Amino acid sequence: MREITLGQYYPVRSVIHSLDPRAKLVLMIAYIVMIFFVDTFVGYGLVLLFLLLVIFLSKVPLGKVLKSLKMILFLVIFTVVMSVLFYNGNENDLLWGWGIIRIYSQGLINAGKMALRLIFLVLGPTILTFTTTPVQLTDALESLLKPLSYIKVPVHSLAMVMSIALRLIPTLVEETDKIQNAQKARCADFETGNIFKRAKAMLPVLIPLFVSSFRRADELADAMDSRCYRGAKGRTRMKKMHFRLRDAVSLLIFALFFFVILWLRYNFFPAFFDLSLLTWLV
């Protein structure tokens, strides 16, 4: 539980931290879309170089970013194993077979690509939460979705729910750690036995955690009500967001990078620069 990094903010002065949160949110959405267009190891290599550059500019320690992969390690391994075992390929690509288990070279390649896609999908949002506070994310989401408020969509409420959820992730992790330590002091065992025994041993942790979560939510609601919170009605901001030149430059650089990724997949440059086509146009 201590390895969960989603929702944690790393306070430091950097170029990535100083970007407009709306620009970072748009870049993150575009990044997630871009990952699904990558289908070659060359493309994944370029994405890795891009992420390393962003991590370097953000001044966030690489180890803290990589810790976010621990919570999806089982999912990555399970996905790779399922992709390798259930891939039905050509007999010419068969590497090893035993009974109904058959491993193909193309299956290994597809499993590797899928694992890289999952890893990159986690690393991107982790960098976003490390460089942007939950309040900034809330304000950015509310600003981007503001047109929906004209059709009676509760944009501010949705943004506030997301902000509270992100803010409470580290709090719930800390609360879980305290409850586990208290149960271990009472000779509770969470590390031995089969999976069913371990799941049963987690009940003394989950029940107090749920009770504590509901109590914390109730206290938060009372605190917001006592401070006359009424949603977005009449609300002002102490810190206003400003879209600057560096935000436009970052969007342009990412658009060029996205263009390169699309070229690697669809290879449309040769057709675009075809001399015969230019001769026909002339």
pLDDT tens digits, 176-216: 888 888 877 777 777 776 777 777 777 778 888 888 888 88
CB 180 within 8 A of CB 205: yes
Reply yes or no on whether the pLDDT at 277 is more than 50: no
Distance CA 258, CA 37 (A): 9
> 232 and 153 in one domain?
yes
Reply yes or no on whether the pLDDT at 57 is more than 70: yes
Interstrand relation of 101-104 and 94-98 (parallel, antiparallel or unpaired): antiparallel
Distance CA 108, CA 116 (A): 12
> 124 and 58 in one domain?
yes
> 190 and 112 in one domain?
no
Tell me the whole-structure pTM to 2 decimals: 0.73
The set of residues, in sequence order, having a beta carbon less than 8 Å from that of 138 and lying 6+ positions away, is 159, 160, 162, 163
> 257 and 152 in one domain?
no
Backbone angles phi, psi at 236, to 5 degrees: -115, 170
Distance CA 139, CA 22 (A): 8
Burial of 275 from C-beta contacts in 10 A (0-12 / 13-18 / 19+): exposed
Q: How many domains does the chain have?
A: 2
Distance CA 12, CA 18 (A): 10
Reply yes or no on whether the pLDDT at 4 is more than 70: no
Q: For the chain, give the mean pLDDT.
A: 79
- Provide the β-strand partners of residue 94: 104
Q: Residue 2: what pLDDT?
A: 52
| Residue 200: CB atoms within 10 Å | 11
Q: What is the pLDDT of residues 230-252, one digit of tens each?
A: 766 666 666 777 788 888 999 99
88 or 183, greater pLDDT: 183
Q: What is the pLDDT of residues 121-171, one digit of tens each?
A: 888 888 888 888 877 888 888 788 888 877 877 777 787 787 787 777 777
> 173 and 112 in one domain?
no
The set of residues, in sequence order, having a beta carbon less than 8 Å from that of 188 and lying 6+ positions away, is 180, 201, 204
> 143 and 67 in one domain?
no
Domain coverage including residue 210: 133-243
Reply yes or no on whether the pLDDT at 78 is more than 80: yes
> 279 and 217 in one domain?
no
Q: Residue 151: what pLDDT?
A: 82
Q: What is the pLDDT of residues 250-273, one digit of tens each?
A: 999 999 999 988 888 777 544 444
Backbone angles phi, psi at 66, to 5 degrees: -70, -20
CA distances from 143 to 25, 72, 157, 240 (A): 11, 31, 13, 11
> 228 and 177 in one domain?
yes
Q: Which amino acid is at 173?
A: V
Q: Residue 273: what pLDDT?
A: 44
CA distances from 69 to 9, 80, 111, 153 (A): 17, 15, 17, 35
Provide the percentage of residues in the chain whose pLDDT is more than 70: 83
Distance CA 167, CA 151 (A): 28
> 168 and 84 in one domain?
no
> 105 and 5 in one domain?
yes
> 203 and 89 in one domain?
no
The set of residues, in sequence order, having a beta carbon less than 8 Å from that of 240 and lying 6+ positions away, is none
> 34 and 73 in one domain?
yes
Q: Which amino acid is at 133?
A: T
Weakest-pLDDT range from 48-52, 54-58, 147-151, 271-275: 271-275
Q: Terminus-to-terminus CA distance in the chain, angstroms? A: 65
Q: Which amino acid is at 156?
A: H
